[in-house]
Structure 1
Amino acid sequence: MIPYVREIKFDYGACDQVSPLIRRVVANNPGPFTYLGTGTYIVGRGEVAVIDPGPDLPEHLDAILAAIPGERVSHILVTHHHSDHSPLAGPLKAKTGAPIHGCAVGARAAESMVVTEAGSDFGFTPDISLCGGGQVLQGPGWTMEAIATPGHTSNHICFALKEENALFSGDHIMGWSTTVVSPPDGDMTAYMESLELIKAREFTTLWPTHGPPVTEVTPFIQAYIDHRRAREAQVLGALAQGHGRIKEMVPVLYAEVDSRLHPAAARSVLGHMIDLVRRGKVATDGEAGLDSDYRLVG
């Protein structure tokens, strides 16, 4: 079982000091994919970085600016192009002049569009590319490293705050829920590799864009990994019982999940199928898709 953390106290639009270097402002955009809303993080004092400005809500832009009177935004950092993360980056840049850092949307992103409330910001194009990760971004008293974490999306970037051994994990790892992996832009093989990469870094705290922080980091990530492997085993078990179509499996495998999330869950099962086909455990005729017939190999 994943030891979810879901308790969080805040007021929409208020700025809360959540650690010595980190402030948070939560947007009023709750939903099945955003939990209680998008948490925009402000790092540093005087000269600050803003992480995941969030949805294009004028009142959220006003709240971010009200949180930093007399301060300068030097970096706007975006974890990925979904509409609850990146659209406000442009308006925030227009108000502050700060460049936008992130990884541009890939050509296949539109094909991954799930029926979600969050949606996608297909026009997202940063001023400074962080694709591939490894870049170091700095301000007075803070140092951030971009870490490429493809899987949820092909352009997902996490940001490590050196001074607090903390990670802004975007949607890669969330305390309140698992993460949607929707092919072809989402990739289960890459996602599992990215989870292992972050686990190996042994961060003290994860700050997801939605929900509260994760403070028991290594066991939490291991539980995330174990959950995916258990889901994979369930998929293989369903195939062994003769259920060869994804749409037959989802209501059974995700019986405990809000039915509004079942279309996204079907995409995650597809991600598992593509990964299993790559590894030679499952076969299908033609390209793996939602409506394909799958069978075990061997």
Structure 2
Amino acid sequence: MSEPNSPAAAGAVEAPERGPTRLSGLVRRLIAPNPSPFTFTGTCSYILGEGEVTILDPGPADPAHIEALLAATHGERVTQIVITHSHRDHADGAAPLKALTGAPVIGARAYMAKPGAAPRADAAHALDYRPDEALDDGQRVAGRGFTLETVATPGHAANHLCFALIEENTLFSGDHVMAWSTTVVAPPDGAMGAYMNSLEKLRGRSETIYWPGHGGPVRDPQRYVRGLISHRRQREAAILARLDTGEANAMEIAQRVYVGLAPALIGAASLSTLAHLEDLAQRGLVIGDGSLALETRFRRA
């Protein structure tokens, strides 16, 4: 979701080509046919290596996209399928691709619903996703001619991983950092405090380009990540300023803070606002009148 006045909205947004595209000596990209206000032109699936290849984020379980991935790797052997996080638009394609190639699925851990979470909390996740190997922060994955290193980045999803491509000093950033949009952080699986910590973690790294889960590359990523951190702090300040005028719930605040946002996106904006409120409550800055929900009314502590 792209927000008005966000870093993503501030400059030109690069819309990637849909067909198989060579990005570097080691990386090719193919975009799934699932465009939407939340996925931009579609999910980016990446093919790494030559001859024996890795597919990173096979995308939705769309037969046409799975067939396109197989066509793009015709004459090659898919040796592993890597997943950044368990949202359906990234991980649903893992099972059918594994069935067709025999390649193991590795990466993000399976989604675990939090106790008491509403059914809507499960809706974004591939509930049948079960990796053959779940990876932890700092683990390395070897391919023919390349090495990936996991970078745990919870926030957008609790199980979110980025993957550093060591040989090219680039990073597959999933939905954690995207050039076209700021990411939605939706409780209870999404957590603003974790998301901000993960941004700070990336700010201390050296990669020169990010290849995201949607949209074109993030260039000058350190500057961009600093902008994302500043943007979120400005949102936080705006939320606190709204609460200075009286108590309110997440949707009421979002309608005031996200000025000019399309009505279809106000629900997602309200969830990100709720994530900010949860973080502020954990830091003792605001108080809610009940359990965390869009209807919960908050006030300044």
TM-score where L is the length of structure 2: 0.92
Aligned counterpart, 1:56: 61
Q: Does 1:107 align with 2:113?
A: yes
Question: How many residues are aligned here?
Answer: 293
- 1:80 alignment partner AA: H
- Shift in Å, 1:292: 1.5
What's the CA shift for 1:133? 1.8
Q: Which position in structure 2 is the counterpart of 1:7?
A: 14
1:185 CA displacement:
0.6
Give how far 1:244 is off.
2.0
> Are the aligned partners of 1:109 and 1:122 in contact in 2 as well (CA < 8 Å)?
no
Instruction: Classify 1:44/1:106 alpha carbon distance in 2 versus 1 (closer, same or farther; 3 Å).
Output: same
Q: Equivalent of 1:218, from 205, 218, 222? A: 222
Coordinate RMSD, CA, aligned:
1.9
Match of 2:127 in 1: 122
- Aligned counterpart for 1:25 among listed residues 30, 46, 50: 30
Cα distance in 2, alignment partners of residues 89 and 158 from structure 1? 17
How far, CA to CA, are the matches of 1:224 and 1:74 in structure 2? 35
Alpha-carbon separation, structure 1, partners of 2:16 and 2:168: 22
Structure 2 contact 251–267 (Cα < 8 Å) conserved: no
Residue 150 of structure 2, aligned match among 146, 155, 171: 146
1:55-75 residue CA offsets vs partner (Å, 9 max, x unmatched):
111111111011112211111
Aligned to 1:195: 199
Flag the 1:113–1:225 CA change in 2: closer, same or farther, 3 A. farther
* 1:248 lines up with 2:252 in the alignment: yes
Measured in 2, the distance between the counterparts of 1:26 and 1:112 equals 31
Post-superposition Cα deviations, 1:46-98, rounded to whole Å, max 9, x if no partner, equal 11111110011111111101111221111101111111100111111111111
Between 1:152-161 and 1:286-295, the stretch displaced more is 286-295
Contact 2:121–2:189, Cα closer than 8 Å, also in 1: no
List alignment gaps of at least 5 residues for structure 1: none
Instruction: Say which of 248, 270, 277 aligns to 1:273.
Output: 277
Residue 111 of structure 1 aligns to a residue whose secondary structure is coil
Give 1:111 shift: 3.3
Is the contact between residue 243 and residue 249 of structure 1 (CA under 8 Å) also seen in structure 2? no
Q: How does 1:254-269 map to 2 (within 5 A)?
A: 254-269=258-273
Q: Superposition pairs for residues 57-96 of structure 1, below 5 Å?
A: 57-96=62-101
> CA 1:250–1:80 in structure 2 vs 1: closer, same or farther (change >3 Å)?
same
Sequence identity percentage: 46
Distance 1:144 1:109 in 2: 33
Q: Is the 8 A contact 1:114 1:264 kept in 2?
A: no
Change (3 A) 1:177 1:61: same
- Give the counterpart letter for 2:204 in structure 1: A
1:110-130, Cα deviation, whole Å (9 max, x unpaired) = 9376699x8321221111111
- Cα deviation digits, residues 157-212 of structure 1 (max 9, x gap): 11110011111111011110111111111111111001111111121010001000
Of stretches 287-296 and 45-54 in structure 1, the one that deviates more from structure 2 is 287-296
For structure 2, which runs of at least 5 residues remain unmatched after alignment?
Answer: 1-5
What SS does structure 1 have at the residue aligned with 2:117? helix
8 Å contact from structure 1 (residues 115, 263) kept in 2:
no
Shift of 1:289: 2.4
**Displacement after TM superposition at 1:108 (Å):** 2.2
2:155–2:198 Cα contact (<8 Å) kept: yes
What SS is found at the alignment partner of 2:180?
Answer: coil
Amino acid at match of 1:123: D
Measured in 2, the distance between the counterparts of 1:190 and 1:6 equals: 26
Following superposition, the deviation at residue 223 of structure 1 comes to 0.6
